[in-house]
Amino acid sequence: MFHPIFFGTVADGNLTLQKPGEFNQYVAKLKGDVQLTIMRRKKVRTNAENNYYWGVILAMVAEEMGLIPDEAYDYLKSLFLKMGVEIKGKRYEVTRSTAILSTEEFEAYAEKRRQWASAELNVYIPLPNEIEYEGHELTLKN
């Protein structure tokens, strides 16, 4: 079953939710006993990781497929981040957002995309430590 994730900040023992309205709407739909789990937020990807994702992986896949990067983004998410959820007895397929992936999950996702690009498109996508990337210029390191 799908369970939304809500984010917040704790300061001086007080919790402040980032989207309290969405949280309240979700809680309003619940009945009976509930379980609440609070934990430290996973480390999210850095700007450098995000630049590599958009400037290297998505750019190379998009170019090879004749797409724009946003289309490549949506296509790769549909391949690798789909999950089934059950809502009121019906099964639905949803696509997870890359924004909620931890750095470890994101690297595993990037590795799957590199392998897919190699197998399906015959395109080698260099690892972050194998390239220098600035703006739209991609240079392989020696």
The predicted pLDDT at position 137 comes to: 61
The predicted pLDDT at position 100 comes to: 79
CA distances from 75 to 10, 14, 80, 91, 115 (A): 36, 40, 9, 22, 15
Rounded Cα distance, 19 and 93, in Å? 24
pLDDT in tens, the chain (142 residues): 567 888 899 999 999 999 999 999 999 999 999 988 888 877 777 888 888 899 999 999 999 999 999 999 999 999 998 888 888 889 998 888 888 788 888 899 999 999 999 999 999 999 988 887 665 566 666 6
The predicted pLDDT at position 1 comes to: 57
SS3 content of the chain, % helix, strand, coil (to 5): 45, 20, 35
Say if CB 123 and CB 39 are below 8 A apart: no
Query: pTM value?
Result: 0.65
Say if CB 106 and CB 100 are below 8 A apart: no
Give the number of residues written for the chain. Answer: 142
Rounded Cα distance, 142 and 136, in Å? 19
The predicted pLDDT at position 136 comes to: 54
The predicted pLDDT at position 116 comes to: 96
Three-state DSSP class for residue 37? coil
The predicted pLDDT at position 139 comes to: 63
Say if CB 112 and CB 82 are below 8 A apart: no
